[in-house]
Amino acid sequence: MAGGSGAPAGHAYVGNLSPGLGHFCGILRVQIYALETTLENLQPIIDRIRSGFEAKNAARDRALARSRELIRFCSLSIRATHRHEFPEADELLIQARALAAAMTSDLAGYPDLYHAGYTEDALKEVAEAHIVFALVQHAPLPDPEALAIPPAAYLGGLAEAAGELRRFILDLDRQERLEEAEALFAYMDDIYTELVTIDFPDAITGGLRRQTDMVRGVVERTRGDLTAARRQRKLEQALRDFEHKIVDI
């Protein structure tokens, strides 16, 4: 009886497990199917993201290369302007504008790259070179809209151009062309007077306050240099007048 009753009990135990095991396997199959269907579009998503990153990285690399080239063109233009080689300086500015337009167009879909430091620094150099070129020739300043340069970068270039004028002024002073030097100093002083009125957070102006402080220091040093030069000229003139009086006597 014990053996006879044990077999049915065992069969009954297996029979009781089989429905549970079947149910478990069914749930497992459903979960596997759900996992497969849930992740079936994972690879296309990753591929699209990777493709977007590759395009953005390529645009970044091009922008970095162009920004370096822009800075080189602008530096050469300012150097040519210092030498009064204005046709060469103008030709370099034409190339710089074309390169800046290409860089800006290429970054149109990537505003975070456009507003990255290296891009705005390059555009600031473009503004500086154009402004220096205009000031030295006593021509009207180029508009930021005409140069397609953001306001903050334009103001930064204006501040740098004011500092660059000091070199011209000192060169003119050494050549005893004091009236021309004073005319350029008047431009420098006017630029500082206007920049100091731009009182907005650095997040908006791109750190203009620091650059304005730099311009103030340059203006004061240049003012002192010109004052000393004027006094020297008056002293020399007084000595010449005295010599003439001695000769006349």
Q: Report the pLDDT averaged over residues 15-42.
A: 64
CB atoms within 10 A of CB 52: 11
Work out the percent of the chain whose per-residue pLDDT is above 70. Answer: 80
Question: CA 70, CA 188: separation in Å to the nearest integer?
Answer: 25
Give the pLDDT score at 10: 44
Q: Is the pLDDT of residue 89 over 70?
A: yes
Question: CA 201, CA 124: separation in Å to the nearest integer?
Answer: 18
Query: Regarding predicted confidence, which is higher, 60 or 4?
Result: 60
Going from the C-alpha of 186 to that of each of 19, 43, 50, 183, 197, the distances in angstroms are 97, 64, 55, 5, 17
Q: Is the pLDDT of residue 20 over 80?
A: no
150-249 has which CATH code?
A: 1.20.58.2140
In the structure encoding, which two tokens stand for residue 46, read together?
């990753």
For the chain, the average pLDDT equals 85
Q: Is the pLDDT of residue 86 over 80?
A: yes
Give the pLDDT score at 2: 44
In the structure encoding, which two tokens stand for residue 106, read together?
């290429």
**Strand, coil or helix: 120:** helix
Return the exposure string of 144-177: e unless at least 16 CB atoms fall within 10 Å of the residue's CB, then b.
beebebbebbbbbbbbbbbbbbbebbbebbeeee
Question: CA 164, CA 82: separation in Å to the nearest integer?
Answer: 10
pLDDT tens per residue, range 90-134: 999 999 999 999 999 989 889 988 888 889 999 999 999 999 999
pLDDT tens per residue, range 139-190: 999 999 999 999 999 999 999 999 899 999 999 988 888 889 999 999 999 9
Question: CA 77, CA 97: separation in Å to the nearest integer?
Answer: 12
Give the pLDDT score at 108: 87
What's the DSSP call for residue 34? H
Q: Report the pLDDT averaged over residues 205-209.
A: 91
Q: Is the pLDDT of residue 229 over 90?
A: no
First and final C-alpha spacing in the chain:
160
Chain position carrying tokens 């005893």: 176
> Minimal CA–CA distance to 116: which of 47, 181, 41, 61?
61
Q: Give domain limits for the chain.
A: 54-123, 150-249
The band of 228, judged by pLDDT with boundaries at 50, 70 and 90, is confident
From 48-52, 193-197, 225-229, the region with the lowest mean pLDDT: 225-229
Q: Report the pLDDT averaged over residues 214-220.
A: 94
Work out the percent of the chain whose per-residue pLDDT is above 90. Answer: 61
Q: Which amino acid is at 116?
A: A
Burial of 83 (0-12, 13-18, 19+ CB in 10 A): exposed
What's the DSSP call for residue 108? T
